[in-house]
């Protein structure tokens, strides 16, 4: 596992999101464009800054997946761009990446974590719930082509955070 971005990583993360989500869930090019825009904005803004991180898994020089921790505020972190190639799934890698991220979030002093996903990603949702996330909201959307149910998950890591604070994106 590697915890730094190297040349080509950003493009590969965007490509994996675009191709895998189109093949597996029928999402259109707007999804890939949104990932590219948001990840590019984070990197242009200085990612990874203090309180942020990336965990990437590769094999034989090929990126198999990764997960990003984004700082929303001094007390709130966000899980972003969690993806695994099909051959990397079912081996505990996703669980390990999420555990590393959550351990870092606690070390950075975050009291609250949140993420956005969609309902068809059942294996990911299982990992999120296992890590202490709870489903807080859902809405139907066609913003990426087919109708999907976009979901928001939140986890409390400390005692003084509130749901209202974490819901601000």
- pLDDT recorded at residue 158: 74
Residue 127: Cβ within 10 Å count: 17
Return the DSSP state at 87.
G
Cα 168 from chain centroid (whole Å): 16
Residues linked to residue 112 through DSSP beta bridges, in sequence order: 76, 156
- The answer to whether the peptide bond before residue 48 is cis (omega within 30 degrees of 0) is yes
Ranges in the chain, pLDDT < 50: 160-169
| Domain boundaries along the sequence of the chain | 9-166
CATH of domain 9-166: 3.40.630.30
pTM value > 0.85: yes
- pLDDT at residue 157 in the model: 94
């Amino acid at each position: 596992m590697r915890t730094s971005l190297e040349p080509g990583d950003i493009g590969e993360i965007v490509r994996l999101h675009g191709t895998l989500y189109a093949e597996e869930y029928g999402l259109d090019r707007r999804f890939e464009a949104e990932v590219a825009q948001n990840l590019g904005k984070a990197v242009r803004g200085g990612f990874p800054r203090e309180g942020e991180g990336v965990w990437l898994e590769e094999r034989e020089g090929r990126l198999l997946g990764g997960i990003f921790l984004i700082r929303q505020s001094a007390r709130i972190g966000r899980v972003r761009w969690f993806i695994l190639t099909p051959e990397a799934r079912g081996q505990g890698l996703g669980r390990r990446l999420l555990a590393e991220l959550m351990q870092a979030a606690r070390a950075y002093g975050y009291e609250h974590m949140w993420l956005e996903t969609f309902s068809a990603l059942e294996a990911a949702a299982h990992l999120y719930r296992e890590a202490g996330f709870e489903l807080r909201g859902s809405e139907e959307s066609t913003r990426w082509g087919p109708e999907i149910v976009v979901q928001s998950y939140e986890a409390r890591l400390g005692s003084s955070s509130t749901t209202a604070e974490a819901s601000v994106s």
